[in-house]
């Protein structure tokens, strides 16, 4: 692998996600000054190092890697910085590695969320809400069967930036359990 390609597909994502994780952990935001220049410059850099086809693949990677988190964002389940970070990873790493990193980040974020729920004593009530929701979806009970005015316990906020960094580290060193290239 040429050194320019190595820098773009491995060291670029690692540096980007490390800075994003620090910003997200400290302030709850992933700044545009990290993600937007990457989204603009990665296709250009790929085009200069590997030709116009690589530039197009970078653009396609950004678009398709940014689509799933955009849909989650539109439902209020994720911040805009996370969406742009995933798109930037698609532009840097290519579609396959970016989607692998994304899946791993969601898994790690979910595990961390369960840990936070347990730590705050909310895991049991959260699991009961899941059980009630599943029963409603399966038609075993109606949503109107809930007691009127029953209060739901407060939720938790999981900052995804650190999970994205860990997922990037694992996927770039090939340590993912499913062993995708």
CA dist 173 → 32, 71, 108, 143, 162 (Å) = 27, 29, 17, 46, 17
Structure tokens at 131: 């059980």
Question: Which tokens sit at 112?
Answer: 């961390």
Domain membership of residue 130 (yes or no) is no
In a domain, residue 150? The reply is no
Residue 81 in domain: yes
pLDDT in tens, 68-109: 999 999 998 899 999 999 999 999 999 999 999 999 999 999
Residues 108-162 pLDDT 10s:
999 998 898 888 888 888 888 887 777 777 766 555 555 444 445 456 788 999 9
Distance CA 122, CA 107 (A): 19
Determine, yes or no, domain membership for 82. yes
Tell me, yes or no, whether 129 lies in a domain: no
Whole-model pTM? 0.81
Average pLDDT score over residue span 8-15: 82
CB 47 within 8 A of CB 59: no
The token duo for 137 is 């979806």
* Tally of domains in the chain: 1
Its domain, for residue 74, covers 3-120+156-172
């Amino acid at each position: 692998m040429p050194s320019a390609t190595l820098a773009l597909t491995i060291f670029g994502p690692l540096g980007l996600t490390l800075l994003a994780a620090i910003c997200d952990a400290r302030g709850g935001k992933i700044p545009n000054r990290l993600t937007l220049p990457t989204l603009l410059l990665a296709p250009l850099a790929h085009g200069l190092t590997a030709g116009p086809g690589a530039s197009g693949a970078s653009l396609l990677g950004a678009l398709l890697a940014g689509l799933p988190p955009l849909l989650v964002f539109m439902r209020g389940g994720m911040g805009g910085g996370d969406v742009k970070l995933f798109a930037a990873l698609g532009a840097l790493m290519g579609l396959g590695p970016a989607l692998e990193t994304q899946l791993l980040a969601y898994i790690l974020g979910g595990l961390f969320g369960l840990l936070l729920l347990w730590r705050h004593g909310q895991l049991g009530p959260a699991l009961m809400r899941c059980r009630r929701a599943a029963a409603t979806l399966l038609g075993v009970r109606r949503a109107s069967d809930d007691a009127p005015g029953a209060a739901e316990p407060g939720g938790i906020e999981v900052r995804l930036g650190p999970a994205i960094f860990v997922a990037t580290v694992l996927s770039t060193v090939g340590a993912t359990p499913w062993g995708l290239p």
